[in-house]
Amino acid sequence: MKQLFSVSIALLVSLTFLVLLLFFMGEDLNALSEALQHTFLNRFGLGYTLFYTTPLIFTGLSVALCFHAGLFNIGAEGQLLWGAIAIVAFSRYFPNLPPWSAIPLSFVVAALAGSLWGFLPGYFKAKRGTHEVITTILLNFIALSCVNYLILYPFKNPESQSAETSVLPAGYQLQTLWFPTTPVNVSLIIAIAVAIAVYVLLFRTSFGFELRTMGQSPRAAVFSGVLLSQRTLAVFMISGALAGLVATNDILGNEHKLIEGFSPGYGFTGIAVALLARNHPIGIIFSSFLFGSLQNFSRELEFFSQNISKEVSLILQAILIILVSTRDFWQRRRLK
């Protein structure tokens, strides 16, 4: 409840900022209401908002799981890229699979690829003590280069001028759900199911209990017999798998091919998503919806305004992170 209140205040502040920004840039304020309508109020807009929600649930969970264990995963961006290219590669080798096996196997393959990339920072942290923040960030850059190479050479679509892979075989293409002409697909339901599964893992299993102990007091965890290095490795691999699943939404559900730079920073937005939900898996579903709408909204705002670029969503994101993470500070001040 307290969190809901502080998030509403943060949203109010960002909205005020946005109105001021539009005002000072000499924009028509109708652009704001048009963009809001096209984010929430019509079928098409809401469909896209939900489509943008799905990847954020996955990356938000990925970041949050690590947070619970006292670890930072800033590498979701790289992990999701490997998930995407893995689906493309898999479909290349098994082009004739029927949907009932192609789709579930694609989910598995994407998760496996992400978890392999997540293994690296986990291993470096567990065995060598290298801080995971810096390794995950550097691994993002490496993943980006490698995946771009794979898109441009081995998996390049020879008939296309732009940097993209060939279209996936028919068995790998997900149908849209509920919202015709928008790319919402079954990934959204899977994402919500995964969020519930992560909740159970964290709060209803001994593994989850160990993770949370480790996050709150590594010493207590060690004394109760938890092998920190082993758990670190496991957490990073699960986190990587969660991030890898992002690809299913875009690749299987929307484009049916991998385009260079397909992720507008889902991995980084995942940090904001997790923070806003205070790392609660169920809360993440809702905060993903919030950031998914923010992303769709800023796209629409770019379209309806004269001169606002869609990167305005990054600024609003930063404002939200700052306000929510300083909540205690503002409360202390009020008490004084």
Q: Angle, to 10 degrees, between the axis of helix 228-244 and the axis of helix 206-216?
A: 110
Of 8, 33, 101, 326, the residue at the interface with other proteins (CB under 8 A) is 326
Minimum distance from residue 304 beta carbon to other proteins (Å)? 15
Does 161 bind other proteins (CB under 8 A)? Our answer is no
Of 8, 37, 42, 145, the residue at the interface with other proteins (CB under 8 A) is 145
Helical H segments across the chain, by residue range:
2-24, 30-36, 43-68, 76-93, 99-123, 132-152, 187-204, 206-216, 218-223, 228-244, 246-247, 266-276, 281-304, 312-325, 327-335
- Considering CB under 8 A, how many residues would be counted as binding other proteins? 43
Q: Which stretch binds other proteins (CB under 8 A): 52-60, 123-131, 182-190, 216-224?
A: 123-131
What six digits make up the tokens of 188?
């959204």
Cα–Cα distances in angstroms (integers) from residue 322 to residues 20, 254, 318, 325, in the given order: 19, 33, 6, 5
Q: Which stretch binds other proteins (CB under 8 A): 98-106, 222-230, 276-284, 323-331?
A: 323-331
Does 235 bind other proteins (CB under 8 A)? Our answer is no
Residue 205 is given by DSSP the state S
What six digits make up the tokens of 171?
């068995």
What six digits make up the tokens of 324?
């929510």
* d(C-alpha 269, C-alpha 271), whole Å: 5
Minimum distance from residue 159 beta carbon to other proteins (Å)? 21
Does 19 bind other proteins (CB under 8 A)? Our answer is no
Closer to other proteins by Cβ: residue 176 or 229: 229
Full DSSP string of 254-291: IISS-BTT--SSHHHHHHHHHHHTTT-HHHHHHHHHHH
Does 133 bind other proteins (CB under 8 A)? Our answer is yes
Minimum distance from residue 322 beta carbon to other proteins (Å)? 5
In sequence order, the 6+-apart residues with CB closer than 8 A to the CB of 182 are 43, 44, 47, 48, 50, 51, 176
Minimum distance from residue 181 beta carbon to other proteins (Å)? 28
Does 146 bind other proteins (CB under 8 A)? Our answer is yes
Ranges within 254-313 binding other proteins (CB under 8 A): 268, 271-272, 275, 307-309, 311-313
Of 19, 29, 134, 220, the residue at the interface with other proteins (CB under 8 A) is 134
Does 179 bind other proteins (CB under 8 A)? Our answer is no
Query: How many residues are listed for the chain in this entry?
Result: 336
Q: Which residues bind other proteins (CB under 8 A)?
A: 25, 72, 74, 124, 128-131, 133-135, 137-139, 141-142, 145-146, 148-149, 152-153, 268, 271-272, 275, 307-309, 311-315, 317-319, 321-322, 325-326, 328-329
